[in-house]
Amino acid sequence: MNNFIYSNTNKRYHTLDYFYKQKFHSKVFKISLNAGFSCPNIDGTVGYGGCIYCSKSGSGEFAGNKEDSLEKQFNTIKNIMLRKWPNGKFIGYFQARTNTYADVATLKKLYEKVLSFDNVIGLNIATRPDAISKECLDYLEELNKKTYLTIELGLQTTNEKTAKLINRCHTLSCFENMVKELRKRNINVVVHIINGLPYETKEDMLNTVKYLNTLDIQGIKIHMLSILKDTPLEKLYQKEHFKVLTKEEYIDIVISQLELLRPEIVIHRITGDPDPKELIAPTWLIKKFCVLNDIDKEMVRRNTYQGIKAQKKD
């Protein structure tokens, strides 16, 4: 029997689907959008070339075509979802690149356009902690009072040596300060981390989660490192042949991370979702549902749950 408090299925961790159903009493879909933003780590503001794993689409493989209007991108996905769930509600997800990297007037126009679409109940905005200006924070605070707003921040790792290697170009203190600024304004924060970064140990990956568990965050996205074609990471991999996690190692690490996370933190993602045509390694990532099922089975086998080893936040 599953005694995990935040579940109405066999899941032993706090799924996004469960969270949305409790909050909105409805099936909720995120629709990924590409609004054509750049990134301060590409244009030279803080760095060049972007993070070494970042694809040409800027982590927006499943976002829309930036040549299409936001409305067209949105409706294309919405119409597919409504066939299966005719009463579904939607969250506009600004996914590709850095989605606060513009002046507030531009941001306002883009965000409020998506909020005007039928049955849109909120926005998720993926960005960097060093790309949210004071003016932007003030605007987000205002926006948060009108809709269900979530800001997604890329951390990836707390290991500063790895952060330099992946060319992240922002510090841990910059990240922590931005989490505090957003939470001061009561804005939900979801953090992205990556398992399997070059030369990281299991202990490094667990340390990242231990650190996040002490912060006031509402959700987490756990990715497996995808080595994609035509990225600096692919060049490093071909040159140095660093170790890539096996599926079994990944599952073991994810479960150990879940055990450390407070149970109220929502798990927005628990594996990567790379484009198979672009993926060099690991190829086991292509079978996403096998990974998800194997995580569930192993949690049952271990009789473990999210938060079973969590330290309470101060």
Question: In this model, does residue 58 exceed pLDDT 70?
Answer: no
Q: Please give the pLDDT value at position 49.
A: 75
pLDDT digits (tens, 9 = 90+) for 277-290: 999 999 999 999 99
By DSSP bridging, strand 89-94 and strand 120-127 are: parallel
Mean pLDDT, residues 52-58 = 71
Chain Cα centroid distance, residue 6: 20
Residue whose C-alpha is closest to residue 269's, from 187, 179, 158, 194: 194
pTM score: 0.94
Mean pLDDT, residues 1-16 = 88
Mean pLDDT, residues 96-106 = 93
Question: Could you give the CA distance from residue 197 to residue 245 in angstroms, rounded to a whole number?
Answer: 9
Give the CATH number of domain 16-302; options: 3.20.20.70, 3.40.50.1100, 1.10.240.10, 3.30.70.270. Answer: 3.20.20.70
The dihedral through the CA atoms of 226, 286, 257, 248 has a sign that is: negative
In this predicted structure, which of 12-16, 84-88, 91-95, 112-116 has the lowest mean pLDDT? 84-88
pLDDT digits (tens, 9 = 90+) for 144-154: 999 999 999 99
Question: How does residue 63 score in pLDDT terms, banded at 50, 70 and 90?
Answer: low
Extents of the domains making up the chain: 16-302
In this predicted structure, which of 5-19, 32-46, 217-231 has the lowest mean pLDDT? 32-46
Q: Please give the pLDDT value at position 97.
A: 85
Q: Please give the pLDDT value at position 51.
A: 86
